[in-house]
Structure 1
Amino acid sequence: MSKEQGAGFYRFNVGEFEVASVSDGFLQFENLKTMIAAGATDQDFQAFMESKFLPSTTAYFQINSLYVDTGKHKVLIDNGMGSYLGPSGGHLPNHLRNLGVAPEEIDTIIISHAHLDHVFGTLASDGSQVFPNARYVVGEQEWTYWMKPDIKLGNLLPDEWKQMIVAGAKRHLSGIKERVEFVKPGQEVVTGIAAVEAFGHTPGMLAFNISSGSESLFYSADALHHFALSIAHPEWHVGFDNDQELGARTRLRALNQVIAERSLVLVPHFPFPGLGHITQRGQVRSWEPTVWHW
C-alpha cells in the first residue's frame, strides 16, 4: 500500500502487515440510554453525557471494518451492513477500491458476529456475492446459534429490530454456507490473526488479536461500543447484548487487557478510524485516539 490516506480509509502497519480501517458508514440511534446504558439511572446517564458535551438522546456509531494484508492473505474482518438501512451504510466496497483493493481480491473474510452491521454486507440485493472470491470464517458457537430455528435476542431490543436482525442474519449466513469455515477461541484464522473469546453481545462473538513481529493490534468487535460510555462505565448494560451481565464482564475484561498490555486497539463503532489506545490513571479510563502519523 502507498502512504496516502483517504476520507473512508486509514492506513497503518502492524509489524510487516499492511493494515487499514475502512468505513462502511454509520448507524444512528435515538433511544441511546436503552441501547448502551441500560444499567444507569436517568440522572447518572444525563450527568455523564453532559460532562462529555454529548447529547443524551441521539448518537452516531461508525462502522469500521479492518483490512489486513499479511503478504499471503488479504483479510477483511467484518463486512459492514450493506445498504440494508439506506445510504448511511454500504460504502465499504467503494472505500476498499479507493484504498487500492478490489472486493474480488479479498480471499478471507472473518465475521466477529452476525449482527446486521457486521455481516449484512455479504450479499448484494440480487443475492450475488459482494466478495466473490472470499472464504468466510465464523465462530463455531456463533454459527450454531444463528442456525437454530428459534432465536431469542436480548430482551431490551424492540421487536421490529429483532425480526430484522434474525431474518437478515439467516439470509446472509445461508448465502455463505458452502464457503464457510469455523473457528474457536484461541485458534489462528491465518498466521498472525487469532480468535479471542468475547461472548455476551452474542453467544459466540469473537474478538481478534493481530500480531506481526513485536507489534500487535486488538480488534474488539462489539465488546466496546461507545468511545466514552463503554470505557467509563463498562457495567452499564447494552441493549443489543444477548446476555447483558456476560456482556458487561467481557467489556471490563477487554478493557483491563488492553490497558495492561498497552495494546493498539481497533473498535468498529468508535469515531473513525476507531484506532487508538485506552489508558487508565487512578480510576479514570480514557480513549486516546491515534492521529495521522506518517
Structure 2
Amino acid sequence: MSTYLNHSLAHQPGSDQQVASRQPVGSTFGGVQELVPSRYALRVGDIDVVVISDGVLPLPTSTMSTNADPAARAAWFKEMYLGPDAFDWALNVLVVRSGEQIILVDAGLGGQFPGFPRAGQLPKRLEAAGIDLGSVTDVVVTHMHMDHVGGLLVDEVKNRLRPDVRIHVSATEVAFWETPDFTQTVMPSPVPDVLRATARQFIDTYRSRVRTFDDEYQVAPGVVVKLTGGHTPGHSVVYVNSGGERLTFAGDALFPVAFEHPDWHNGFEHDPEESVRVRVRLMREAAASGEWFVATHLPFPSVGRVAVDGDAFRWIAAFWDY
C-alpha cells in the first residue's frame, strides 16, 4: 500500500497533473494556515481513498457509556488522558475514487449546531485537499444524524454539487426519520429536535436526488454500501475492495471506547443492544481479515486495523506513510 496526498481527485481522468506536496496547507507559522494535516490518503488496490477531517465536536463523556458504572467510565477517560466531563469527538468523512466516479461518504456537521466552530470544516478542507465538489458523482450517507448530513446543507456544498449527483441512503433510514424514535437514546436535551429538523431538511432538499437501497448496493466498482442497523435502524457501512485489499468505513458502528468495552452503549444509539451486536461482528470480521478500518469518530486519521484481545479488541493505528 502506498499512502499520499491525492490531489488528483480534483481532476478529470487522464489529467497529467502531478500529485502535490505532502506539506500541510494553508497559518501564521511559516505561511501555512493549518499546522497539522486535515486529510490522509491511501490506496486500496486500484481505488484511491482520502480521509478528510470535518473537525471536532465537544461532547459530554457520559454519552460514550450510558450503561457503564460512572467510576469505570471516569477511569477509562483518565487512562486516555481525556475528560473528565467532556472530550473532543472526531468527525471524519471519506472521498473515494473508483474509475471515473468520485464518491463522498458522509458530509460532516455543517452549520446545524451553532457554537461549535471547530466542526463543520468540510468545505474548506476539501478545497485544501484539491477536491472539487463539482466532480463528486455520488454521495453515500451512512445515516441521517446531523453530523453526517449537515454538511450537505451549507451553501458552500449545496451550491457546488452537480445537479445530477446521486445520493445513496438505505430505504430503512429514510423511513425511520419520518417518525423517529428516541426512546432508547440518552442525548443532551437540545439534540433530538435538531436531529429531526436536519433529517427533514436533508430529505426536503435532496429528495429528487436520493437513491434508496434495501440491503446493499454497489455504488461503483469495488465500492459497496451495506445496511447494518443498530446505531440507527438504517445505519450502513461502506466496503472498499480492490486488488485483494479491503477497507471498511464503519460510520457510527463504534466509538473510541468500543475496543476495550464493546458492550458499553453510546447515548446516540437508537437501538443500543443491536449496536453492540453490530460492532462486535464488524470488529471480529476486521480482525479476521486484517483489513483497513476507518470510522467517523475515531481520532483522525482513523486508519488502522483491529485485533482481538481476549474478550475485547485492540486498535492498531496505521503508521503514517508520508
Q: TM-score, length-normalised on structure 2?
A: 0.84
Q: Is the 8 A contact 2:224 2:238 kept in 1?
A: yes
Pair 1:139-2:167 in alignment: no
Secondary structure of the residue that 1:169 maps to in structure 2?
Answer: helix
Aligned-partner Cα distance in 1 for 2:47–2:180: 38
Structural RMSD (CA)? 1.9
Q: Is the 8 A contact 1:23 1:91 kept in 2?
A: yes
Aligned-partner Cα distance in 2 for 1:105–1:204: 27
Q: Which deviates the most, 283-292 or 172-181?
A: 283-292
Secondary structure of the residue that 1:241 maps to in structure 2?
Answer: coil
Q: Is the 8 A contact 1:19 1:69 kept in 2?
A: yes
Tell me how far 1:98 sits from its aligned partner. 1.7
Q: Is the 8 A contact 1:123 1:130 kept in 2?
A: no
Aligned-partner Cα distance in 2 for 1:84–1:151: 18
Q: Is the 8 A contact 1:255 1:278 kept in 2?
A: yes
Letter matched to residue 151 of structure 1: P
Q: Which runs of 5 or more residues in structure 2 are unaligned?
A: 1-7, 9-18, 25-36
Distance of aligned partners of 1:68 and 1:283 in 2 relative to their CA distance in 1, 3 Å threshold: same
Q: Is the 8 A contact 1:22 1:92 kept in 2?
A: yes
Give 2:283's match in structure 1, choosing from 235, 255, 258: 255
Match of 1:118 in 2: 148
Give 2:66's match in structure 1, choosing from 38, 41, 57: 38
- 1:119-152 CA-to-partner distances (Å, cap 9, x unmatched) read 0111225994452342211111101111x2x322
Give 1:219's match in structure 2, choosing from 249, 266, 270: 249
Secondary structure of the residue that 1:27 maps to in structure 2?
Answer: strand
Q: Is the 8 A contact 2:134 2:161 kept in 1?
A: yes
Pair 1:65-2:93 in alignment: yes
User: Which structure has the larger Rg over C-alpha atoms?
Assistant: 2
Secondary structure of the residue that 1:46 maps to in structure 2?
Answer: helix
Match of 2:15 in 1: none
- 1:171-202 CA-to-partner distances (Å, cap 9, x unmatched) read 01221001110123332122211122321111
Distance of aligned partners of 1:126 and 1:287 in 2 relative to their CA distance in 1, 3 Å threshold: closer
Match of 1:49 in 2: 77
Tell me how far 1:160 sits from its aligned partner. 1.8
Q: TM-score, length-normalised on structure 1?
A: 0.92
Q: Which runs of 5 or more residues in structure 1 are unaligned?
A: none
Distance of aligned partners of 1:3 and 1:125 in 2 relative to their CA distance in 1, 3 Å threshold: closer
Aligned-partner Cα distance in 2 for 1:15–1:61: 30
Counting matched residue pairs gives 288
Give 2:42's match in structure 1, choosing from 12, 24, 44: 12
Q: Is the 8 A contact 1:183 1:189 kept in 2?
A: no
Q: Is the 8 A contact 1:207 1:218 kept in 2?
A: yes
Aligned-partner Cα distance in 2 for 1:275–1:116: 23
Pair 1:152-2:178 in alignment: no
Match of 1:285 in 2: 313
Secondary structure of the residue that 2:108 maps to in structure 1?
Answer: coil
